[in-house]
Structure 1
Amino acid sequence: MATHPEAAALLARSHRLGSDPRNTNYAGGNASAKGTETDPVTGGDVELMWVKGSGGDLGTLTEAGLAVLRLDRMRALVDVYPGVEHEDEMVAAFDYCLHGKGGAAPSIDTAMHGLVEAAHVDHLHPDSGIALACAADGEKLTAECFGDSVVWVPWRRPGFQLGLDIAAVKEANPQAIGCILGGHGITAWGDTSEECERNSLHIIRTAEQFLAERGKDEPFGSVLEGYAALSAGERRERAAALAPYVRALASRDRPQVGHFNDSEVVLDFLASAEHPRLAALGTSCPDHFLRTKVRPLVLDLPPTAPLDEAVARLKELHAEYRAEYAAYYERHALPDSPAMRGADPAIVLVPGVGMFSFGKDKQTARVAGEFYVNAINVMRGAEAVSTYAPIEESEKFRIEYWALEEAKLQRMPKPKALATRVALVTGAGSGIGKAIAHRLVAEGACVVVADLNGGNAQAVADELGGPDKAVAVTVDVTSEEQIADAFKAAVLAFGGVDLVVNNAGISISKPLLETSAKDWDLQHDIMARGSFLVSREAARVMIAQELGGDIVYIASKNAVFAGPNNIAYSATKADQAHQVRLLAAELGEHGIRVNGVNPDGVVRGSGIFAGGWGAQRAAVYGVEEEKLGEFYAQRTILKREVLPEHVANAVFALTGGDLTHTTGLHIPVDAGVAAAFLR
């Protein structure tokens, strides 16, 4: 069925508005259109409203993300509205106004769009508009900025009553093109989609110009002595050193994925004399504090403080933060309030270094940080022309622990087995490593794709969905410096590392008398020494995080039972197998499990076999190289060829949550080689 012209215009407008962060934040705000369509039952005309549904994003909105409602039924709800004490009940009533099947669930803002007498309505969260909305004298400033073309609406929690308020304001002010919602954002309207968009942009750009022209030069005050930003390189080093400790604090109640931001906006705010006061006031717009919590945790030390002193102070501040958050909950919770969801911060600010933000996945963590940048911009604008005055703490609690918000959270799909876990896989640019990376991402993990071939690593990271799912690092596992850099990249990308797969490998098949010391050293450097170096760096991060972890070695059947003409390869695989035993015994006290996988005959998709090992082994066994996989399969008990995906399955079995009490184990993935049975 063709998209209705008004709905098509709405989608196009939404994409234009939502693609510019000056207009609204990610998933923030909503837009609507009204129009007439033929009722499929009566054949007559029916007035409909298309509006962005709950949880959608304007910039990427599709027709499936629209809720479609009958206007006659929606507006009839006014007659049965029981008042603000019961207005949450009205959200369920929207379901009885829906037109046809499918579509998105109506959001709490549906009434705002349906009750306002305008064909098109935008509700947005621009930083400039919220700055006026959160200024101590916002009503006066709104009049100075817009005259009578934009009307002030005092703070009211989103819902049916706010829709009635805005409808009344529009009716009483026919000259107005929109309104500033105290503590919240803006709403604009128009008879056509073009007029509505034009009015929205006029409000946003006029507010921007007003703040720029009327605002003072240093709204955050002078630079705090000793708090200026470190150089870019120093910031990254300091952030990487702090990240595992910060993630440990943010994950006390439940594991979190992290994101790091050292943009100029953040650094300038943290260098200012007023940042402690402003940060303590918290954010205001509901979209902001639902993702950032009511306030951040702020380290009150200069960036040059010794690392151990900074870590110790962060722990002290975290204990204070948790106590204060619990007290905030107790101050405002009612008998029917949802249980406290956790007392850890979502935003941690480190002067001179940057901002760490956290969430249930990388996108959530990144967006939380983006929202705090929005909040900084709001504070700057409000302080430039007035004083920043967010909504009352009690109102923030009503939003954060709103029954409707709780219901939305309960509707979220169950997390995947590896959700919140960050994995680093070596040799992940091809073959077994690539298959492992794909399986881990499919199960919810974030993955650092590490490979000597940076191009291959980047290609795999792109396949996996890009930086919210996977990042690529170029690393030679024989280099301590490159391994350290790879882990720094991992903790800056995702906050830490929980799962490491030692997969990088090489093989040179030669008889003993033809095996040179160089052949021996190369294979031991990459697999034995490389695995040791990677595991050592992984342990440092995991111990600092206090979240336990997994280290998995991709060893080989050859670690137990070796074929002819591969002394160096088989010896180094035996070394890896013994590292599993040694590290399992040593790291268990930290909750770090160390296990291994022993594959055999993985020919298809294997980087090692494609690099010459296949031809060498085929020559040893006297078979054609393209039939080597079949040859290996026929000598197994199951007569099945082993593929990279089968090895990836074993890695998931070890790390996916069912084998929580297993460490020091080697799983054969060889289709059954009796001589390699573990005894």
Structure 2
Amino acid sequence: MTNPTVNPTVAALVERSNRLGADPRNTNYAGGNTSAKGVERDPVTGEDVELVWVKGSGGDLGTLTGAGLAVLRLDRMRALVDVYPGVDREDEMVAAFDYCLHGKGGAAPSIDTAMHGLVDAAHVDHLHPDSGIAIATAADGEKLTEVVFDGKVVWVPWRRPGFQLGLDIAEIKAKNPEAIGCVLGGHGITAWGDTSEEAEASSLWIIQTAATYIEGHSRPEPFGPALGGYAALPEAERRAKAAALVPTIRSIASQDRPMVGHFTDSDEVLDFLAAAEHPRLAGLGTSCPDHFLRTKVKPLVLDLPATASVEESAARLRELHTAYREDYQAYYDRHATPDSPAIRGADPLIVLVPGVGMFSFGKDKQTARVAGEFYVNAINVMRGAEGLSTYAPIDESEKFRIEYWALEEAKLQRMPKPKPLATRIALVTGAASGIGKAIAAKYAAEGACVVIADLSLEKAQAAAAEIAGDEGADVAVGVQVDVSDEAKVQAAVDEALLAFGGLDLVVNNAGLSLSKALLETTVADWDLQHNVMAKGSFLVSRTAAKAMIEQRLGGDIVYISSKNSVFAGPNNIAYSATKADQAHQVRLLAAELGEHGIRVNGINPDGVVQGSGIFSSGWGANRAAVYGVEEKDLGKFYAQRTLLKREVLPDHVANAAYALVGPDLTQTTGLHIPVDAGVAAAFLR
């Protein structure tokens, strides 16, 4: 079979898909699908065979490659029409697509494959543009379709995606040869063309025509007049309140299973929540299947003005959460059949707070962010539909049929097993280099979202970018913090909360050292080291613990102490004393925070020279002088004084830091782990 990356038909399809998917006005992330039909030589028979290439299940148009396409034989797809058992059994047709695959078939065929294979057009696009869905969800959408598109686009009443919808659209096209596409009631649009360029032009014409019509004909204030007291708070006040509410909101979204969050305070969200009709519209829920599969059928909306205090808002959110869970259970009970999958959880995925913004949640940061993007799409849809008519999403029963569709359940079951630290959010101080950076990298590799906190913002952001790679801010972000400053610690924790929607793991790693004898150690030297390590650890732990307690999800605090916390060496009074302070903080906090499920443990490394910011800033030279060795040989010197004769590296400490928060030591708290290759004088007693 011809390599799809060099097949001109497929190349044009991928390029068209990428262009369409790159513009959020055309479709949302992983939403919609595209296809192309063409001829290739069958390597077995040597005969030409008609094929259809269509975006596979779960792919994204904006990043689609040839490997993401399903490849099917058209003759076999068309033959399915003769064996189609009817709407009641159309789910069986998805399995039948496997018997239509050409060669290895490429990606798994999606539920929309029939739409592309059965429609008599060489190129087909199915998209979810806000403007198109606004027409599709308007109460008089069929009439609007006639008026807006002047007969070039045909209305197709709502039907769940599947084989029958493909037949419906094929029939519509056959009966309307002048049409370039259709509006799918409650759902989206489909367009076609004889060439790839023609299909793309048809799609863009439908999207732009709908958007222009909405802009020119929408009534003022489609969401109703402003609601007193619900206007957006000033930015600084808004974000401070958001950070203060995040722990409560995450606990609400995570009662059934832990979630990662995303915060959005865009104008679309704030304007929607400031208008009088937002409670009614939010209660109607989303309509497009791609929307509500990621946002749940409707959000939880705080019914208090923006001026309500954090305490009032938090208390009311918990009350509303109880009602939301009861309502969702009732929704499930109304529509579930004996064959329905078990309820997947009754917590909201979207929480709206007037004057503040939107909190969206998912199994990871990307999923949470995309859920928020989809709800913004839904707001845009509501604005368009309300501006022209009345927003009328598909029936609740239809939403349930899709949300608890056996095919959707099968897709969820195919998802890869999550990594050990999936859904956990870590804040690591002093993480731009050395031990801290190694720990952050280890946590990210094991599935955590990581906040790199360092005195240098530039270095923190560079470390975050290196650790996250192509996944970017969905995995790691860099923030600036001076751990000795109470206000700056609070600001850094707030940034962590807003970046990922919560906080589960804290590593107190920030430190420095001045190697001086007792008589040479000044009060300033003493205060500096105690402010950064003893006081800094206290401030970070106290601030993080407050959030963890409110989250009700437990958590972990790890102290990077030192073998010097128990080992008495020369010319090190200030450093070793503050490390002993940190070591006892571990025991004190383990005793105090255990009732909240928060575990506190410590690690006692020996001198870690490689990559260390402390050693490179003068400490290494001082210690080398004390021991009478060259600075470049300090790591080797430390190794030779150990029982194992091995140098301790940042990764060794990172492995211990992972062991303490991973799945294997869940019953351990108040522990110190030596990572020193064996220093007998530092054995714990």
Which amino acid in structure 1 is aligned with residue 139 of structure 2? A
> Following TM superposition, by how much is the alpha carbon of 1:464 offset from its aligned partner in structure 2, in angstroms?
2.3
Mapped pair 1:634 → 2:637: no
Mapped pair 1:59 → 2:62: yes
**Using the alignment, how far apart are the partners of 1:450 and 1:339 within structure 2?**
41
> Following TM superposition, by how much is the alpha carbon of 1:130 offset from its aligned partner in structure 2, in angstroms?
0.3
Structure 1 counterpart of 2:484: 478
Structure 1 counterpart of 2:498: 492
Structure 2 contact 154–183 (Cα < 8 Å) conserved: yes
Structure 2 counterpart of 1:88: 91
> Following TM superposition, by how much is the alpha carbon of 1:309 offset from its aligned partner in structure 2, in angstroms?
1.3
Structure 2 contact 72–105 (Cα < 8 Å) conserved: no
TM-score after normalising by structure 2: 0.98
> Following TM superposition, by how much is the alpha carbon of 1:627 offset from its aligned partner in structure 2, in angstroms?
1.2
Q: Which moved more, 1:182-191 or 1:37-46?
A: 37-46
Within the candidate set 272, 277, 290, 2:275 is matched to 272
> Following TM superposition, by how much is the alpha carbon of 1:431 offset from its aligned partner in structure 2, in angstroms?
0.6
Which amino acid in structure 1 is aligned with residue 343 of structure 2? M
Would you say how many aligned residue pairs link Structure 1 and Structure 2?
A: 679
Structure 2 counterpart of 1:345: 348
- Residues 612 and 102 of structure 1: CA distance in aligned 2, closer, same or farther (over 3 Å): farther
**Using the alignment, how far apart are the partners of 1:252 and 1:156 within structure 2?**
34
Structure 1 counterpart of 2:125: 122
Q: Which moved more, 1:431-440 or 1:307-316?
A: 307-316
Mapped pair 1:181 → 2:177: no
- Residues 562 and 71 of structure 1: CA distance in aligned 2, closer, same or farther (over 3 Å): farther
CA offset digits 1:111-132 (Å, max 9, x no partner): 0000011110000000000000
Structure 1 counterpart of 2:620: 614
- Secondary structure of the residue aligned to 1:76 is helix
Q: Which moved more, 1:431-440 or 1:35-44?
A: 35-44
**Using the alignment, how far apart are the partners of 1:494 and 1:18 within structure 2?**
26
**Using the alignment, how far apart are the partners of 1:102 and 1:152 within structure 2?**
33
Structure 2 counterpart of 1:198: 201
Aligned residue runs from structure 1 range 237-252, under 5 A: 237-252=240-255
Within the candidate set 537, 540, 552, 1:534 is matched to 540
> Following TM superposition, by how much is the alpha carbon of 1:101 offset from its aligned partner in structure 2, in angstroms?
2.4
Q: Which moved more, 1:560-569 or 1:17-26?
A: 560-569
Q: Which moved more, 1:611-620 or 1:14-23?
A: 611-620
CA offset digits 1:472-509 (Å, max 9, x no partner): 11111110010000011111111111100000000111
Which amino acid in structure 2 is aligned with residue 193 of structure 1? S
Within the candidate set 165, 168, 178, 1:165 is matched to 168
Within the candidate set 10, 31, 36, 2:34 is matched to 31
Which amino acid in structure 2 is aligned with residue 649 of structure 1? N
Structure 2 counterpart of 1:414: 417
Structure 2 counterpart of 1:583: 589
> Following TM superposition, by how much is the alpha carbon of 1:453 offset from its aligned partner in structure 2, in angstroms?
1.1
Aligned residue runs from structure 1 range 653-664, under 5 A: 653-664=659-670
Structure 2 contact 558–602 (Cα < 8 Å) conserved: yes
Q: Which 4+ stretches in 1 moved above 6 angstroms?
A: none
**Using the alignment, how far apart are the partners of 1:100 and 1:632 within structure 2?**
60
- Residues 529 and 102 of structure 1: CA distance in aligned 2, closer, same or farther (over 3 Å): farther
Structure 2 counterpart of 1:391: 394
**Using the alignment, how far apart are the partners of 1:70 and 1:499 within structure 2?**
51
Which amino acid in structure 2 is aligned with residue 527 of structure 1? M
Structure 2 counterpart of 1:571: 577
Within the candidate set 354, 359, 367, 1:356 is matched to 359
Structure 2 contact 158–184 (Cα < 8 Å) conserved: yes
**Percent of aligned pairs with the same amino acid:** 78
**Using the alignment, how far apart are the partners of 1:103 and 1:529 within structure 2?**
58
Within the candidate set 131, 152, 156, 2:155 is matched to 152
**Using the alignment, how far apart are the partners of 2:147 and 2:315 within structure 1?**
49
CA offset digits 1:140-186 (Å, max 9, x no partner): 00000112210000000000000010001001110000000000000
Structure 1 contact 418–444 (Cα < 8 Å) conserved: yes
> Following TM superposition, by how much is the alpha carbon of 1:102 offset from its aligned partner in structure 2, in angstroms?
6.0
**Using the alignment, how far apart are the partners of 1:557 and 1:103 within structure 2?**
55
Which amino acid in structure 1 is aligned with residue 683 of structure 2? F
Structure 1 counterpart of 2:606: 600
- Secondary structure of the residue aligned to 1:305 is coil
Mapped pair 1:231 → 2:234: yes
Which amino acid in structure 1 is aligned with residue 36 of structure 2? A
> Following TM superposition, by how much is the alpha carbon of 1:308 offset from its aligned partner in structure 2, in angstroms?
1.4
**Using the alignment, how far apart are the partners of 1:102 and 1:468 within structure 2?**
32
Structure 2 counterpart of 1:331: 334
Mapped pair 1:469 → 2:475: yes
**Using the alignment, how far apart are the partners of 2:607 and 2:103 within structure 1?**
56
Structure 1 counterpart of 2:449: 446
Structure 1 contact 64–102 (Cα < 8 Å) conserved: no
Structure 1 contact 554–597 (Cα < 8 Å) conserved: yes
> Following TM superposition, by how much is the alpha carbon of 1:215 offset from its aligned partner in structure 2, in angstroms?
1.1
**Using the alignment, how far apart are the partners of 1:51 and 1:455 within structure 2?**
44
Q: RMSD value over aligned CA atoms?
A: 0.8
**Using the alignment, how far apart are the partners of 2:386 and 2:626 within structure 1?**
77
> Following TM superposition, by how much is the alpha carbon of 1:103 offset from its aligned partner in structure 2, in angstroms?
1.9
**Using the alignment, how far apart are the partners of 2:309 and 2:540 within structure 1?**
26
Which amino acid in structure 2 is aligned with residue 569 of structure 1? Y
Mapped pair 1:262 → 2:265: yes
Q: Structure 1 unaligned runs (5+)?
A: none
**Using the alignment, how far apart are the partners of 1:601 and 1:277 within structure 2?**
62
Q: Which moved more, 1:371-380 or 1:92-101?
A: 92-101
**Using the alignment, how far apart are the partners of 1:431 and 1:240 within structure 2?**
29
> Following TM superposition, by how much is the alpha carbon of 1:563 offset from its aligned partner in structure 2, in angstroms?
2.0
Which amino acid in structure 2 is aligned with residue 142 of structure 1? T
Structure 2 counterpart of 1:646: 652
Aligned residue runs from structure 1 range 38-117, under 5 A: 38-101=41-104, 103-117=106-120
- Secondary structure of the residue aligned to 1:100 is strand
Structure 1 contact 332–397 (Cα < 8 Å) conserved: yes
Which amino acid in structure 1 is aligned with residue 572 of structure 2? N
Within the candidate set 557, 563, 568, 1:557 is matched to 563
Which amino acid in structure 1 is aligned with residue 553 of structure 2? L
Structure 1 contact 244–544 (Cα < 8 Å) conserved: yes
> Following TM superposition, by how much is the alpha carbon of 1:628 offset from its aligned partner in structure 2, in angstroms?
1.1
Structure 1 counterpart of 2:676: 670
Q: Which moved more, 1:35-44 or 1:293-302?
A: 35-44
**Using the alignment, how far apart are the partners of 1:215 and 1:303 within structure 2?**
28
CA offset digits 1:300-326 (Å, max 9, x no partner): 000111221111111111000000000
- Secondary structure of the residue aligned to 1:99 is strand
- Secondary structure of the residue aligned to 1:561 is coil
